[in-house]
Chains A and B, each alone.
Chain A
């Protein structure tokens, strides 16, 4: 557990990066996890090559869901939508630097789900 709330996660939770909304945005999507009440919205601006030039997330939820969204935003800025296709659970866990059980995994994965479904539609999302 001490791992789960390591300093970097609490830091992202308390001081989220790229937090807010983009208006206008090229891609906006939000989803929630009604079981815990986590909600994440992600806005993206992309250039003609589908490179993410600006990104932001908003919403509310537990430290794991919010910190993973914050870290994901830092990570994807400057990447292309194609790059995002390859992101997996392991990438998120690597960013967080922790291991999670099945319940908390849903919290951690919400931001990636919102990002992928927003960018490519729900068929791109394979929950494992």
Chain B
């Protein structure tokens, strides 16, 4: 038995078909790249197969049995996700492709209707490109000004700097809940409170937090929260934007088309009610149903247990990886303020070479700038290697990483 914080990891591992495979003959997979995308449990894969095999029909139209079943499953999934994040109503849960699309929706629909030239938006130095570029596009289109919260050497947001920036009277603060490189968990509740006091609304990129910890959208005080299914045991191509109902009611639609309308005339339209107002066209129905199944799977284990388990692993990993000569780890040294992510460099070896050698031992890590080029530039890094953890990882996986890193070191000595 491999019990860790009340989770039997051996049992969990068996739920994931990918974790049963070998990546080279005789070399099993050690998957440490969940931050990029998680593996999928059989329950989620089965739900996709079931939907496409037996219930496949378009949603919200059609009176036949399959259409009713598909609509019920799709809407049930929305309810399930709403409850998972503590949303007041499932009408606040909008299905989109992913976190990126969700942020683009806010930048476009909210940004273009609420902002004018000279208005200010606050971002941070640790943002993923998906929480930078939509605002760059908005800035180019409208002349909106962007302020950026500094990140300190340990990988924390400089909160004094943030408070200073709030004096400029921003209309929006859009920050990540957890950095996909440093692992830093930002004090999002404090950030929200300060933003609201300054008259700004708050958008949270929760792509890395919702999969790994209990996130209650009302408790953190945000106005928009975005996350993706594929990083939390669900399928690709489906994600959620949660938004406060009064704000969602108050902004125009993003994409136009079927399902997002109440009535259409030849020269005008009346938008549909929430959440359909923002769901134009046939959605990723099977994927949304699979997302619901993923949430049920995670809920079945318990988000608090998942967080505790990852805390144990990241603490162990930082200690072990740090012992490899020539290694530098980035981000908070106190694991309490960091999720299950360890980005590092090894003297004299490019991260791509690290990842390639690790792969020969079946250890899958990510190498590159992890869609956070400005953050890497800040630390004068071209790239880092990144190991990340989830419910299906254990200390043996960390040991495999460290053993393989020793191999890299000797190879490039």
Contact = CB atoms under 8 A, between A and B. Distances in A.
B151 interface: no
Nearest to A35: B368
**How many of chain B's residues touch chain A, expressed as a range?**
10 to 19
Interface stretch (B185-193, B256-264, B350-358): B350-358
Contacts of B356: 1, 4-5, 104
A35 B368 CA distance: 6
A122 interface: no
A36 interface: yes
Interface residues of A, number: 20
Interface in B347-377: 349-353, 356-357, 359-360, 367-369, 373, 376
B368 A62 contact: no
Nearest to A39: B382
B54 interface: no
A37 B360 contact: no
A56 to B, nearest CB: 20
B74 to A, nearest CB: 36
Nearest to A14: B412
A2 B24 CA distance: 12
A63 interface: yes
A104 B359 CA distance: 13
Interface in A3-33: 4-5, 10, 13-14
B132 to A, nearest CB: 15
A63 B373 contact: no
B383 interface: yes
Contact of B350 (A4, A14, A62): A62
A10 B356 CA distance: 14
Given A1-B359, A10-B412, A63 B353 contact: yes
Nearest to B367: A36
A60 B383 CA distance: 11
Nearest to A37: B382
Interface in B366-413: 367-369, 373, 376, 381-383, 411-412
B369 A5 contact: no
A14 B359 CA distance: 22
A107 B352 contact: yes
B411 A37 contact: no
Contacts, number: 53
Contacts of A13: 412
A4 B352 CA distance: 12
A51 B19 CA distance: 55
B352 A2 contact: no
Contact of B369 (A2, A37, A39, A60): A37
Contacts of A61: 350, 352, 382
Contacts of A2: 360
Contacts of A104: 352, 356
Given A61-B350, A62-B352, A5 B357 contact: yes
A38 B352 CA distance: 10
Contacts of B383: 36-37
A34 interface: yes
A38 B348 CA distance: 14
Contacts of B359: 1
A13 B356 CA distance: 15
Contacts of B368: 35-37
A1 B360 contact: yes
A74 B261 CA distance: 66
Interface in A46-103: 60-64
A5 B352 contact: no
A89 to B, nearest CB: 19
B352 A36 contact: yes
Nearest to A4: B356
A79 B373 CA distance: 39
Nearest to A66: B350
Nearest to B360: A1
A15 B231 CA distance: 41
Contacts of B369: 34-35, 37
A39 B411 CA distance: 23
Contacts of A63: 349-350, 353, 412
A13 B413 CA distance: 11
A1 B359 CA distance: 8
A55 B349 CA distance: 25
Interface of B: 349-353, 356-357, 359-360, 367-369, 373, 376, 381-383, 411-412
Interface of A: 1-2, 4-5, 10, 13-14, 34-39, 60-64, 104, 107
Given A36-B382, A37-B368, A60-B350, 17 more contacts: A1-B359, A1-B360, A5-B353, A5-B356, A5-B411, A10-B412, A13-B412, A14-B412, A36-B367, A36-B383, A37-B350, A39-B382, A62-B352, A62-B353, A64-B352, A64-B353, A107-B352
6 contacts: A1-B360, A34-B373, A37-B369, A62-B350, A64-B353, A104-B356
